[in-house]
Amino acid sequence: MVAHPRSAVPDAFPPAGVTAIVFDVVGTLVEPAVSVADTYAAAGRRQGVDLDPATVARRFATAWRRQESIDAAAATPFVTSRSRERERWREIVADVFGPGDATAAIFTDLWAHFALPQAWRPVPRGVTLAQTAIDAGLVVAVASNFDERLLDIAPHLDPLTRVAGVFPSSEIGWRKPAAEFFRQVERRLERRPEQLLYVGDDPDLDVMAAANAGWQSLLVG
C-alpha cells in the first residue's frame, strides 16, 4: 500500500517496540485559534499601540530566535524554569512592541490570553494520531517547550484531555533540544529510549532532538 502524503496515520503506526508515544503540543496537537500576529496586534490596539500583523510577525520571528539563542548560549544550555519561561515571553513582547508603558500591559494581556483553552484549537491530524495510539493501548503523553499554563489548559482542550501525562519544559527543568529534556520524560513514564516515539512538527527541535536522545521520532504537519 502506498501511503497518501496527506494520510492522517502513517504505515506501521505505532512502530514495533514502542510502548509510549510523546507528542509535541503547539503545531502538532493544537495551534493558536487566531494567529499569533493577529492576536498580538489586537492586544497592542487594546493598549493604544497600532502595529500591523505583518510587522508583528517579522519582529516575533526575530524575537523568538533571540530567545532560543540565549538558551543555547547559557552556562547550562536549555536549562529552564517557570521564571525563565515567563521572562522569555516578556522579552519577546518587549522586542515586538518596543520599550514603553504599554508593553507591560500588553504582556499581561497576552500571557492571560494564551492561558485560555479557547485561545487554542485542535490540529485534526494530531488528534487522529493520538487517538490511534490510545486505541492501540499505548501510553500517550505530551512534552513541550511550554510553561505551567499548559497544566491548566490541558484538562479543557481536546486532544490534551485524552493524554496520560503533561510535561511542560518549565516543570521538568529542560527545553528541547536538550537530551536531558527527553531523559526527564523517560523517568516519568518509566520507559527506555527505544520504547519511546516522539511526534512533532519541528524537524530540529522535535525529530532530530528526539533521535539524538535515542528515541524513535516522527515528523508531522
List residues binding Mg ion (CB under 5 A): 24, 26-27, 201
**Torsion region of 215: left, alpha or beta (phi above 0 gives left; psi -120 to 50 gives alpha):** beta
For residue 187, which of 128, 141, 136 has the smallest C-alpha distance?
141
Neighbour tally for 155: CB within 10 Å: 10
Whole-number minimum distance, CB 210 to Mg ion, in Å? 12
Whole-number minimum distance, CB 126 to Mg ion, in Å? 10
**Cβ-based nearer residue to Mg ion, 27 or 173:** 27
**Cβ-based nearer residue to Mg ion, 85 or 201:** 201
Which residue do the cell numbers 521564571 mark? 83
**Cβ-based nearer residue to Mg ion, 24 or 171:** 24
Whole-number minimum distance, CB 190 to Mg ion, in Å? 25
**Cβ-based nearer residue to Mg ion, 100 or 203:** 203
Whole-number minimum distance, CB 201 to Mg ion, in Å? 4
**Cβ-based nearer residue to Mg ion, 40 or 146:** 146
Q: Which residue lies nearest Mg ion, judged by its C-beta?
A: 27
CB contact burial 73-106 (16+ within 10 A = b; e otherwise): eeeeebbbeeebbbebbbebbbbbbeeeebbebb
Whole-number minimum distance, CB 196 to Mg ion, in Å? 17
